[in-house]
Amino acid sequence: GEEIRFQMGTSTQTIDASDSLLIQASSGTMTLEATSDIFLKPSGQNVTMRGSTSGEQIDFSLGTTTQIMDASDNLQIQADGDIFLVPDGDNIYFRGSNSTGQQISFGLYQTSRQYIFSSDALELDAAGIIYLDPSSAEVVYLDNGADRASHYF
């Protein structure tokens, strides 16, 4: 069967983990530490991190073509620095209710021009001023991809 080895103090303990295994700290914090990488490799393709109830969890589904991170509640990503989204496919999608009918995408596939696409009408709204700051001092209005009018400042 499968074995897991733990070092406790100066002795090493071996545990048979051929069926399932629960590791629980009797109190305080548990630290998982390695001198190299840590791999979680479930055969069921899901890794779940759970708080004290099942309503406090994040589930990672590890599919062959799509990876999904699903939070049971709101999900907030914080960083002390910047957050970068760097897709190899050059598109970033925001969807409502997992529907392509409610979608905004950012096309990052041209070096001279980037795109924002909306599946429906797109409204820009601000409590204050909306600034457009082209370095060329030109704003071009398009009609279905064709130049409609230009405005120079």
Give the pLDDT score at 127.
Answer: 93
d(CA 151, CA 139): 5
54 φ/ψ angles, rounded to the nearest 5 degrees: -70, -15
Of residues 106 and 53, the one with the higher pLDDT is: 106
Q: How confident is the model at residue 18 (pLDDT cuts 50, 70, 90)?
A: low
Torsional class of 10: left (φ above 0), alpha (ψ -120 to 50), beta (otherwise): alpha
Give the pLDDT score at 19.
Answer: 66
Q: What is the mean pLDDT of residues 80-101?
A: 86
Cβ atoms of 138 and 152 within 8 Å: the answer is yes
Give the pLDDT score at 83.
Answer: 92
Q: How confident is the model at residue 80 (pLDDT cuts 50, 70, 90)?
A: very high
Give the pLDDT score at 61.
Answer: 92
d(CA 76, CA 99): 21
Smallest Cα–Cα separation from 46: which of 27, 62, 24? 62
Neighbour order of strands in the sheet with 57-62 = 46-50, 57-62, 67-71
Cβ atoms of 72 and 56 within 8 Å: the answer is yes
Of residues 70 and 28, the one with the higher pLDDT is: 70
Give the pLDDT score at 151.
Answer: 78
d(CA 77, CA 45): 23
Calculate the average pLDDT of the chain: 83
d(CA 51, CA 58): 9
